[in-house]
Amino acid sequence: MALTPTRIKLAEFDRSTYAINPPAGSEFEEVLDPRYWAHLAGQLRVGDVLEVKPDDMSWWALLLVTQVGLVQANVAVLIGPVQIDGADVAPDPELEDHVLRFAGGRMRWCVLRVSDREYVFSGGTRDEAVAWMESRAAAVAAAKLKQGVVEERPEPKAAEPEPAEEDASPAGRRRRRASVA
């Protein structure tokens, strides 16, 4: 049986699409918990589409609202999570006391000094923050080298192969003669 014209309408009249921005550091598994949506359940409807991307832009997902209660909403994963290069990056070995992170807003990408939780670089792109960390790591390494704290390690020498022991038995001599001939 064919569909009738009353069975079609613009999607905007049937559902809403929301951009959801959880705080930086949020895990994808959190948004799958129906209680996660407790404060938004009143405005969600079955069929709504949720584009979810945390402030640190570490991942992105497209969800479909499948059930709504008073203080919860169930969602189904349509796409994702798609990992996006972005969230906290492991610190450079020479800068173990600094962390690269996305702080959002005007702070954008920052370098955080772990010891006092002070931002020592902020407001740049991810590449600018990484460049700051790399230049700082190079400066720290150069200062340590100048002070003699870090010793330059000589290149390891390749081990020389030990000469094979010759078989002095009569059978060993016969094998050597046979291989020469």
pLDDT of residue 150 exceeding 60, the answer is no
3-state secondary structure the chain: CCCCHHHCCCHHHHCCEEEECCCCCCCHHHHCCHHHHCCCHHHCCCCCEEEECCCCCCEEEEEEEEEECCCCEEEEEEEEEEECCCCCECCCHHHCCEEEEEEECCCEEEEEECCCCEEEEEEECHHHHHHHHHHHHHHHHHHHHHHCCCCCCCCCCCCCCCCCCCCCCHHHHHHHHHHHC
Give the domain ranges of the chain: 12-83, 93-147
pLDDT digit string (tens) for 71-87?
999 999 999 899 876 44
pLDDT digit string (tens) for 8-51?
989 888 899 999 999 877 899 999 999 999 999 999 999 999 99
- Of the chain, the percentage scoring pLDDT greater than 90 comes to 30
Indicate the range of 68-77, 137-146, 149-158 predicted with least confidence: 149-158
Contact 56, 65 (CB under 8 A): no
Global confidence as pTM: 0.55
Fold (CATH) for 12-83: Ribosomal Protein L25; Chain P (2.40.240)
**What's the confidence (pLDDT) of residue 167?**
60
